[in-house]
């Protein structure tokens, strides 16, 4: 809806009779107003730079010209980011996201790889100015982690992170092998849109099978003696969501429901997208032949995305969270494919 119609609806006396609808309208209105303010500010800066450029040329002021060039570069960077944000046209692209890591084939190697990826995404979020909360971590037997669940909050988090969904493959000399042999490990990265309770995602309590069990992670006697962990199965779809790292059974249940709702929202998106499966694609096992990206640390240094063929030799930077170019390449390729489909 346009700002005018949103403002008219926000001004109606009966708005808050439906709090969920009211919150959605106020959020949309705030986003639209912020967008207008951004472009008005861009226009103002462009006009000021244009006037300063004329003045600098008339005065032959070299120092001022250098300042203007620096400001133009900054303005161009803001414009590039704004143009890039236009790629986020998906229903949940502007939402927060849940990032789940599942170690796959490779035993201790893959569990260590999962922990490396967890660090990579936390560093990416920090670099991007996003807020993170590690909701659950299941440690490996010897090293690393078996699974992890992270909530990441910020503008367009899901829009960016959905480029990361899939199997990530690592090739390196094993630090756990006495012979230092080369090993290949796999981790499944799952990206879910965080959704508010919404009339379109209806969960019937009768469709849920809820189980409690003892947490398997570290935590001392409390976690051993109480069944605080919760597993929820959505019977119509078979989707399972579980949580065991929160402090109480109630907290674990709330988090499991949050994950279940995110999975159901994603399932709904995939069904509507049919065979294109734009947002998630089929749930793939973490193993050979299914990787979306390979990280090669031996015998050479390379990270390659197999969907876009984007490649870099700076593996250290990537593992430290420099993922922007991979994400941008993925989004640009997706837009190109959608354009081709429309033309055909």
Is residue 186 over pLDDT 90? Answer: yes
**DSSP state at residue 7:** H
Listed in sequence order, the residues at least 6 apart from 94 whose beta carbon sits closer than 8 Å to its beta carbon are 31, 88, 155, 156, 158, 159
Mean pLDDT of the region 16-25: 79
Mean pLDDT of the region 150-154: 94
Mean pLDDT of the region 168-172: 95
Give the other-Cβ count within 10 Å of 192's Cβ.
29
Length of the chain: 344
The per-residue pLDDT for 277 is 47
Is residue 52 over pLDDT 80? Answer: yes
**Rounded Cα–Cα distance for residues 124 and 160 (Å):** 11
- Of 270 and 248, more confident: 248
Is residue 169 over pLDDT 90? Answer: yes
Is residue 134 over pLDDT 60? Answer: yes
Give the other-Cβ count within 10 Å of 122's Cβ.
18
Mean pLDDT of the chain: 83
- Of 85 and 130, more confident: 130
H/E stretch holding 167 reads: strand 166-173
The per-residue pLDDT for 92 is 86
**Rounded Cα–Cα distance for residues 327 and 324 (Å):** 5
Binning pLDDT at 50, 70 and 90, where does residue 120 land? very high
**DSSP state at residue 275:** G
**Rounded Cα–Cα distance for residues 117 and 291 (Å):** 14
User: With pLDDT > 70 as the criterion, what percentage of the chain qualifies?
Assistant: 87
The per-residue pLDDT for 63 is 84
Binning pLDDT at 50, 70 and 90, where does residue 235 land? very high
Q: Which domains does the chain have, with CATH numbers?
A: 3-85 (no CATH), 97-198+284-343 (3.30.70.1660), 205-273 (3.30.160.20)
Is residue 267 over pLDDT 80? Answer: yes
Is residue 286 over pLDDT 70? Answer: no
Mean pLDDT of the region 175-201: 81
Mean pLDDT of the region 190-196: 87
CA geometry: angle 65, 68, 73, nearest 5 deg? 130
Is residue 133 over pLDDT 70? Answer: yes
**Rounded Cα–Cα distance for residues 64 and 68 (Å):** 6
Tokens at 298, concatenated: 């031996």
Binning pLDDT at 50, 70 and 90, where does residue 337 land? low
Answer whether 329's CB lies under 8 Å from 318's CB: no
The per-residue pLDDT for 326 is 96
Give the tens place of pLDDT for each residue, 67-95.
Answer: 889 999 989 888 877 777 777 877 788 88
Give the tens place of pLDDT for each residue, 291-309.
Answer: 899 999 999 999 999 999 9
């Amino acid at each position: 809806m346009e700002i005018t119609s949103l403002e008219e609806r926000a001004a109606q006396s009966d708005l808050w009779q439906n709090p969920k609808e009211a919150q959605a309208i106020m959020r949309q209105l705030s986003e639209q107003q912020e967008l207008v303010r951004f472009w008005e500010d861009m226009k103002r800066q462009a006009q000021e730079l244009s006037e300063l450029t004329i003045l600098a040329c008339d005065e032959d002021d070299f120092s001022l010209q250098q300042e203007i060039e620096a400001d133009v570069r900054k303005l161009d960077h803001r414009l590039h980011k704004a143009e890039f944000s236009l790629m986020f046209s998906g229903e949940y692209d502007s939402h927060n996201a849940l990032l789940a890591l599942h170690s796959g084939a490779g035993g201790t190697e893959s569990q260590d790889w999962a922990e490396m990826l967890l660090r990579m995404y936390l560093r990416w979020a920090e670099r991007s100015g996003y807020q993170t909360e590690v909701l659950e971590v299941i440690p490996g037997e010897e090293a690393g982690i078996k699974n992890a669940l992270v909530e990441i909050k910020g503008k367009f988090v899901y829009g960016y992170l959905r480029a990361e969904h899939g199997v990530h493959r690592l090739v390196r000399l094993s630090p756990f092998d006495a012979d230092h042999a080369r090993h290949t490990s796999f981790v499944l990265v799952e990206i879910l849109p965080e959704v508010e309770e919404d009339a379109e995602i209806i969960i019937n309590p009768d469709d849920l099978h809820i189980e409690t069990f003892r947490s398997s992670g570290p935590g001392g006697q409390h976690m051993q003696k109480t069944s605080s962990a919760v597993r929820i199965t959505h019977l119509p779809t078979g989707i399972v969501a579980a949580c065991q790292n929160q402090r109480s059974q109630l907290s674990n249940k709330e988090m499991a429901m949050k994950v279940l709702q995110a999975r159901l929202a994603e399932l709904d998106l995939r069904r509507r997208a049919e065979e294109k499966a734009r947002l998630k694609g089929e749930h793939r096992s973490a193993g050979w032949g299914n990787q979306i990206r390979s990280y090669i640390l031996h015998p050479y240094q390379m990270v390659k995305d197999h969907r876009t063929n984007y490649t870099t030799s700076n593996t250290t930077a990537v593992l430290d969270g420099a993922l922007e170019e991979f994400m941008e390449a993925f989004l640009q390729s997706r837009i190109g494919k959608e354009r081709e489909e429309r033309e055909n």
